[in-house]
Structure 1
Amino acid sequence: GLVEPVRNKGFRVTEVNERDLDQYTEIRTLIEVPMIGRITRSAAREDLEALRPVAQEIVRAAREHDLIGYLEADRRFHLSLLALGGNDRLVETVGDLRKRSRLYGLTALDESDQLLPSAEEHIELLDLMVAGDAEAAEKCMTRHLSHVRSLWAEGAPDERRKPTRTGLTVRLGSA
């Protein structure tokens, strides 16, 4: 669902609009916030601590403006954290939602140094979970998801006024 074929041209990145982003964020919030509370209450502290290097990698990548490193570490952190809940289909669903929305406005956010505060929220979330504070961890996750959504909107002010983004066309054999 990330690309669509364009006859005699190749492929185009599918268009994402504000409504799509709002819906993806709403679904992620409905899934991830209660799971964070459940995982905080049930996961072994050493399993949570095992994710600390990945959380630190997210911060490092944001600080160094390494978007590929940021995206990969962020994906690994969130999906590995959710995997501690033991529901493979849930992890798969969140992974799909993340794929559909993560690239939106990311370059603009990086250029304006707005990725670093979002990156640091991963360490805050992990600290709360390791401390066993499920309620605070759920609040942190809610804030993180809404923060990320508001950053998307701020990072792409021109796109907010348009119903959809212009898709990119990639010719076969050129990627």
Structure 2
Amino acid sequence: MKHGLHALHGLPGSAEAGVPALRTGEVRVPAQTRSVDALDALDAVETPAVLDADRERGDAAHGVRGEHTHSERPIPPPRPVVQRASVRGQIVDALRTALVAGELKPGQVYSAPALGDRFGVSATPVREAMQQLALEGAVEVVPNRGFRVVQRGARDLSELAEVRALIEVPVMLRLARTVPAERWAELRPLADDTVRAASTGCRATYAESDRAFHRAVLSLAGNAQLVQVAEDLHRRAQWPPVGGPVRHGRADLVADAAEHTALLDALIARDLDVVRSLVNEHFAGSA
């Protein structure tokens, strides 16, 4: 619920002017081998003449031309699409974490090559990751420069909290009437996880556990589209506004996590009045 936070995948510092250094965290994006980093280079050299030559070599390998040359170089293996997607996904997660932790500053422009240098990868997967964040509303494209982190104020957070309440409160009240107590009890470990995450004082760590708890609660409705929309809104609500997070201290996180435990107790007891009060207060406080 509220501004949760997830373990920071920091970025090592850089001497590039105009791009602030980010803390080194625990993100482990694998060092890029030629299979990933050379993608742009391969694109550059695969001219029609080279492709024709490759086709001839392929024909020769299958006996089409009736000749065999021991000196011809082997045909390159297929490009590792899965590996590239995996790297891009790790970078998306790292950038989302940096947003929650305030490592990527609202209004600041970041270039894909500079961020790529910090991650130890080419600019291509970073650019693709940033495009995903642009779709999520976290950044906006700045032509010929890179991506600017979107600036949001308290009103933006209030609007997000209102929309989340409109979606989640009715669902939770319906689930409180229909879901048996033993099913709610199964979510106790997730509520406990939020308490442990809050005790660390790490915004990024708490963000992930916070979303996991809400996702599990809403999943009981059996509506995948609902869960996806709510998850997107929740993630947006966790990005700090301009000027820093409204609630950012360890005590705030602990208080937020305690509401998860209280909500779960009310759901198990089917106390609809307490459920309604807790959820409404929770979303109101998230602004």
Q: Which amino acid aligns with 1:133?
A: D
Higher RCO (CA 8 Å, separation ≥ 6 residues): 1
CA distance 1:51–1:91, shift in 2 (3 Å): same
Does 1:35 pair with 2:164? Answer: no
RMSD (CA atoms):
1.8
Asked if the contact 1:128–1:136 (Cα under 8 Å) also holds between the matched residues in 2, the reply is yes
Does 1:126 pair with 2:256? Answer: no
Does 1:73 pair with 2:209? Answer: yes
TM (norm. structure 1) is 0.77
Does 1:138 pair with 2:276? Answer: yes
4+ residue runs over 4 A deviation: 105-108
1:45-85 residue CA offsets vs partner (Å, 9 max, x unmatched):
22211211111111111111132221111001011101111
State the partner residue of 1:90: 226
1:115-149 residue CA offsets vs partner (Å, 9 max, x unmatched):
21111000000000011112211111111111222
Does 1:8 pair with 2:124? Answer: no
How far residue 107 of structure 1 moved from its aligned partner, in angstroms, is: 5.5
Q: List runs of 5+ in structure 1 lacking aligned partners.
A: 150-175
Secondary structure of the equivalent of 2:152? coil
Asked if the contact 1:37–1:135 (Cα under 8 Å) also holds between the matched residues in 2, the reply is no
Distance in 1 of aligned mates of 2:265 and 2:139: 37
**Farther off after superposition, 103-112 or 67-76:** 103-112
Q: Which has the higher helix share?
A: 1
1:150-172 residue CA offsets vs partner (Å, 9 max, x unmatched):
xxxxxxxxxxxxxxxxxxxxxxx
Distance in 1 of aligned mates of 2:185 and 2:170: 20
Secondary structure of the equivalent of 2:251? coil
Asked if the contact 1:61–1:70 (Cα under 8 Å) also holds between the matched residues in 2, the reply is yes
Secondary structure of the equivalent of 1:110? coil
Asked if the contact 2:140–2:149 (Cα under 8 Å) also holds between the matched residues in 1, the reply is yes
Asked if the contact 1:25–1:146 (Cα under 8 Å) also holds between the matched residues in 2, the reply is yes
How far residue 104 of structure 1 moved from its aligned partner, in angstroms, is: 1.8
Distance in 2 of aligned mates of 1:124 and 1:113: 17
Distance in 1 of aligned mates of 2:205 and 2:182: 24
Q: Which has the larger radius of gyration?
A: 2
TM (norm. structure 2) is 0.49
Asked if the contact 1:2–1:99 (Cα under 8 Å) also holds between the matched residues in 2, the reply is no
